[in-house]
Structure 1
């Protein structure tokens, strides 16, 4: 598992090490405060209440805005809440929901004063969670400096430019570093919430909550974000026709010579042009396509791992396991268990 767990030795207000049970005060549920900012995504905003609220009363979830007033969502409605930023002062865990636009390069370099003031009210021992572009808010406040973090893969470049002091890993579902837990886009917020339950109260309760909410019970935080990589559009003297030809023959032992011959180019010219168009070497691209096809067969068929390996062009099941794990951080069995379970 590639999730980083850096123990800062944080102690909660009861004098207990955080994570030892999840309760902020003895005998009371963990107090979770969700911060909704202008432009919030309503789907992700409701995640903590839906997931943590299904954990047999172990969490008390409230939602706040910086001033207690309604906020616009990125949809065609606003949401009203009952709490202002003062709720953050009582939090054991704070969740920052994502905000629009999805391309936060347009977010001001500095946080609005009201948002900065709200974040300053979070207790120093509180656990802080972000979902998707919520990481931009935490980073702008300096809370992620020197830490590993993640956000949605589509905005990773913008994040890196804005926050070079954050160790961004855009290839995972969530990252835990000390009291900071950042997650990627949309459904990875569910994974992060289940991770909180699992950390605080164990796998049995987390699995029970997952069943109640009809979601996969466990996706490793180090698992890749399953980014689609479509074949680029064809152009003059393009290698697109050869890529299409190769995709129909993934089960064959294709070589660079085979590909160049089909494209009627020299090896050197083909390799250079291929890389210019795709951004990968032909060999690396073939591996990606074989892994992608293997994933489809793991989801949609009952073929054995060895049978799938043969159909997608890997010599053995062991080779498929190696390449799948390198690509997305999980085994074929784990991948199939997760995705066949939700078909």
Structure 2
């Protein structure tokens, strides 16, 4: 014990630094002990069955079909190709659901604060209903509606020309074009986006709408894109052939059910996040906008929503992560996302530990990517000030 005059320093084990360090070391040691226990237990069980860990199975041939996907996977391709097809299917349905749920959620959140009592009642009923029904039940409901209520392809519903609704999916017309024309459209789209981004940056810095050349360049890109489509594209219309349609493009009942379930369910939570953000904007902001002569719609669009998004973005980002993770429930209706592929691979090769590790890494990577993008957007949004 150290003595300074009348003051006596406490023993080292009673000092805050030592106690904090000891607590952290104890936690780390405890976690390592738990991890070591599970690893040892797994190793012992694998040794009893003469099984070894390894990821060489991903190069073996897959003897199963997925039934749906844009990667072109067929039986006989590698297990790695099957995993890739499942990842693409997961990303496809998740991205479509994120976009739809965001648009629908913002609209419903605004309507719940509307001065119209009917709008408030309908939006409140939608939110309370969708939030309190399990997502998997909603997916099963939409799947049953599509497969049981819609007619066969020969009696398909056609609300507009070139669109057909059947119990085997939704069939619609598409524009086909040669690969060279497709890549030309990609290049023109990049040019258009770059021009719009330059205009937005110029407006943020100078407060003006940008140079006249920017408008001309953007207009030229749009005209060129239309010219490419009109001169090289052809419309592929689905036509009934036998018991089903041929030509055009289609969306399967499984994808449609998962998409509707994720979108409608998540939109209810996003609506509440948006409503909370709007309520978090000071009433003085609305009063100032009204004093300037702005109408209610202009006030909401120009004053309230930009500030509300600063509050709503973090919880909305959490909803995006939930959409990706909740897409795993699609296994209940056999949509071939990554979880469905994993269950099939486990039944085929029996490598449960390795397969689970793969899908955990996939979900972790997607979630970290979404979090990074949303954090970057939120940081840029906050940097603009209120």
- Give your verdict on TM over 0.5: no
Structure number with greater CO (CA < 8 Å, separation at least 6) is 2
Higher helix share goes to which structure?
2
Considering only CA atoms, is the larger Rg found in Structure 1 or Structure 2? 2
TM-score by length of 1: 0.25
TM-score by length of 2: 0.23
